[in-house]
Amino acid sequence: MPVVEAFRNAVSLLDELRAGGTIKDYALIGGLALSAWTRPRTTRDVDVVVLLHKDVSWKNLSSDIEHRFHKRVFLQEGNQRTHIKEKLSFIFGQIEIDLISARGFKLAQKAIEHALPTDVFDKRVKVATPEYLILLKLLPLSEQDSVDIKRLLKKADIKKVIELAKTFHLTVKLEPFLKN
């Protein structure tokens, strides 16, 4: 299954989970979301932040994907550095799908809330705005994240980025990027 088809099918799966009441909402983040706002770059996975309904646990979501869609799911514990508490991954065609829980992760919740519907590979999907992508990339701040942030700053509302960085206590991490 080609990557584009795998992505479309993964979005259909997420839409089905939302329609079925497991997922309340979701938004694309990571390298693929970056490609919606800037020149596309390669990525090895599809990163999605997910907001579950109150009565649905992360294990419920994992079981739902395994049983309804016949996908083997790998549950992972999050880490403090990135603020991720719950994450699960599964392979869809040729791509890895990483679902990151927004539960207890206020920045991810706001990224979903402010995400914009965008066409990605002819599939309508909510994509985190450049401002929120910058903040999410400041958390792990890998070498690739630094490159991505510099590209996103050219598309972002800088005043809004600065305001959001203050709100989420990321000003110190953002400042070096604003000096360039």
DSSP bridge partners of 49: 27, 100
Amino acid at 104: G
Average pLDDT score over the chain: 91
Q: Domain boundaries in the chain?
A: 3-129
Rounded to two decimals, the pTM is 0.93
**How does strand 95-101 pair with strand 45-52?**
parallel
Residues 41-48, mean pLDDT to the nearest whole number: 86
Report the largest interatomic distance among the alpha carbons of the chain, rounded to a whole angstrom: 50
Residues 84-105, mean pLDDT to the nearest whole number: 90
- Smallest CA-to-CA distance from 58 within 96, 15, 124, 105 is with 105
Given a contact cutoff of 8 angstroms between Cβ atoms, the answer to whether 99 and 89 are in contact is yes
Task: Check residues 41 and 73 and name the one with the higher pLDDT.
Answer: 73
113 three-state secondary structure: helix
- Domain 3-129 fold is Beta Polymerase; domain 2 (3.30.460)
Residues 89-99, mean pLDDT to the nearest whole number: 89
pLDDT at 115: 98
